[in-house]
Amino acid sequence: MAISQKVLMSLSTAAIAVLVLSVPISANAKKTGVVTGNVVNFRQSPNLSSKVLNKLTEGTKVNIIDSEGDWYKVSYNDATGWMSGDWLLVRDEKIASGVVSGSVVNVRSKPNTDSEVLAKFSRGTKVDIYEDSDNWYRVSIGEDRFGWMSGDYVTVRDEAASKSTAAVKAAAKDAEKTPSAVQEAEDADDAGETPDAAGEELTVEVDAGAADGSEGKSEKSDPVSRGADDLSSDARKEALLRQQIVDYAKTLIGIKYVYGGESKKGFDCSGFVKYVYNNFDMSIARKSSDQGKGGKAVKKADLQPGDLVFFDTDGGLNNITHVGIYIGDGKFIHASTYLKKAITIESLSSSYYSKRYMRARDYISK
């Protein structure tokens, strides 16, 4: 029995909808690590007395399986072992992508509706998904910065589904023989979710005026036309992240200096930096000397809030012994051992630190 072109087109567009809307996320979260030490032990168990299975050199990439305290269980060349987190730069890996389906949807600090709103995404915004937790998706909202969106307002896609969808659309296009069939396809597209397109608009907000649902109303910043690179939007996200890092670091002012500390009970200089960056899901090495190797080099004249500044407090300008976070206006915040022995703000041009300044690194810019 012959099947009409109209029926074929309906079946094709229905198949597209199923492929797009029914994509499962295959993993809850995925992380990788990069070795930051010169030669780092790959051990049998998460302690310094366990057997050394291998030695990995700086720059080696490993897959993160689990963690226990400051240790990471990793896989490398089909072998599984443990490595100290002091010598690993841990990164999140995307597990899927999606498109915002609500009008204005909140991105929150935690996977619940009571947590802080970090940003708002408008319908059609593409998002990268890094974790799935009880129908909440951990998504990227900037370089090494993440938030949570309700899965009720995100249409999940992945590479395999996109290829399958493209194949179905190609088959549907082959079936277009009459103007009515073409119109049928257009009507079906209009009825579905916003398709991927280079001309979509991205609106990011930082006040909490909208609900986690689709019809929130709040005062919005001007939408930015999203092209291939969306440089304006990226710049806004970066500026927002930099200011939030500075603001959060300032909330820790006055906490005492404790050698080896990396909690609100006390910080040393690199522990303070790591603590602040970790609050924004930004992974960084533990020691100041290793922190001075990561990110990108930045000239002193080009410093931006959130960049790291490094010093040799021994005075020889040979080895990094101290680190702080630049906050703008020629000042930085750090766990001081010089006078106050606490989290405090200093000037880069002070007589003490200007003579001991070595370099700066940018972990935020793309």
The Cα-based distances of 41 to 73, 270, 297, 329 in angstroms read: 12, 22, 28, 42
Number of Cα atoms under 13 Å in the Cβ half of residue 224:
19
Rounded Cα distance, 60 and 137, in Å: 29
Helices of type H across the chain: 5-21, 159-174, 179-191, 231-250, 269-278, 288-291, 351-354
Helix (H), strand (E) counts: the chain: 7, 24
Q: Are 18 and 155 in contact (CB under 8 A)?
A: no
Which residues belong to the active site? 269, 322, 334
Sign of CA dihedral 267, 286, 117, 329: positive
Rounded Cα distance, 173 and 186, in Å: 11
Rounded Cα distance, 271 and 153, in Å: 37
